[in-house]
Amino acid sequence: MVEPVIACPHCHKEIKLTESLAAPLVEATRREYEAKLAEKDSEVTRRESALRDQERELTDAKERIDEQIQEGVRRERQTIAAEEAKKARLLVWDELAGKSQEVSELEEILKLKDNKLLTAKFPIDIIEPVPKGEFGGDLIQRVLGSSGQQCGTILWESKRTRNWSDAWISKLRNDQRAARADFGVFVTRTLPKGVDSFELIDGIWVVQYRFAIPIATALRQSLIEIAGVRQANEGQYTKMGMVYQYLTGPRFRDHVQSIVEKFTEMEEDLSRERKTMTRLWAKREEQIRRVISSTAGMYGDLQGIAGKGLNEIEGLEIAMLPAEVTQD
């Protein structure tokens, strides 16, 4: 094996590189290359880390952009949905208002037809719509006798709904009292349960439409006969008789019935209030008892720790007595 040689740069003399002479140079060269390799590896690592950071930033930026886009889309959808819902509500309100107007107009037409029907059947009576705001009901029929004298009044109300409500009876009864009518008649397409054609319910005649005219004829004839008897005996009654007539008449009965109903409502309200207050008092009493018991227990704990050094608190010694007895 030929040993490597180097030439002196000054004298140009060749010098053989033995292992001992070359070792330091080789080691220095190796270290230099290792340092350069390490520096390159470090540079590569830094670049890879920078690239990863840039990649993460790009990913985060993309996610933020996606979120912003989704949020914008969501808000836009909400805005569009709100606008569409608003338009739908407006359309529904307009439609309901139109339907309500149509129903009102239809009810007015039906009332006019009922009015014309009664007027045609009883031409001498005064039949007119009830003024709005005066009292309830649809029509008021003032029954007149053959000589034109007023014999009584009938308050009419009609419903063409598919369902029946018991509240209509009490309302018409109150309206009848307000109008001082002798009879109240409720004409309906749907009758209460258990009623086939017509029935007197709580002083109100409830009838189907086809029985309205027969009921009106019967009630009208009753009012005319009662008025005739009253007129025939008009000069024979003393004040006592007039009082008796009033006491046995429908108006006194209506007044008494109204008083009884209101008194019953007041009594029920009072009973409910009494039950409510009793529950509240019992709750407050239990709360106060628990507060006193807890305070007395805390005082007893502190007295057990501090002994006689703790000042006595007036009232707590007495409050502690039942607790001690209970523990025994």
The count of C-alpha atoms lying within 13 angstroms of the C-alpha of 245, restricted to the half-sphere facing its C-beta, is 14
Residue 118, Cβ neighbours under 10 Å: how many? 20
| Mean pLDDT along residues 324-328 | 42
φ, ψ of residue 314 to 5 degrees: the values are -65, 130
Q: What's the N-to-C CA distance of the chain in angstroms?
A: 113
- Phi, psi (deg, nearest 5) at residue 85: -65, -40
Q: Are 173 and 144 in contact (CB under 8 A)?
A: no
Q: Name the range with the highest mean pLDDT among 32-36, 112-116, 181-185, 283-287.
A: 181-185
Q: What is the pLDDT of residue 39?
A: 84
Residue with tokens 């808000």: 75
Least confident piece of the model among 33-37, 176-180, 262-266: 262-266
Is the predicted pLDDT of residue 51 greater than 80, yes or no? yes
Structure confidence at residue 299 (pLDDT): 66
What local confidence, expressed as pLDDT, does residue 274 receive?
A: 86
Q: What is the pLDDT of residue 20?
A: 55
Spell out the long-range contacts of 128-136 with Cβ–Cβ below 8 A and sequence spacing 24 or more. Answer: 130/155, 130/179, 134/179, 135/175, 135/178, 135/179, 136/171, 136/172, 136/174, 136/175, 136/178
Nearest to 321 by CA among 283, 292, 286, 287: 292
Helix then strand count (H, E) for the chain reads 6, 8
Q: Are 118 and 139 in contact (CB under 8 A)?
A: yes
For residue 56, pLDDT over 80 is answered with: yes
85 pLDDT tier (thresholds 50, 70, 90): confident
Question: What's the mean pLDDT when you consider all of the chain?
Answer: 77
- Per the model's pLDDT, the better-predicted residue between 259 and 169 turns out to be 169
What percent of the chain is predicted at pLDDT more than 70? 69
Better pLDDT: 240 or 72: 72
- In this model, does residue 126 exceed pLDDT 80? yes
- Can you give the pTM of this predicted structure? 0.44
Quote the distance between the C-alpha of residue 85 and its chain's center: 21
- Cβ neighbours of residue 206 closer than 8 Å, sequence gap 6 or more: 169, 186, 188, 191, 192, 195, 198, 199, 200
> What mean pLDDT comes out for the span 47-60?
85
What pLDDT is attached to residue 319? Answer: 43
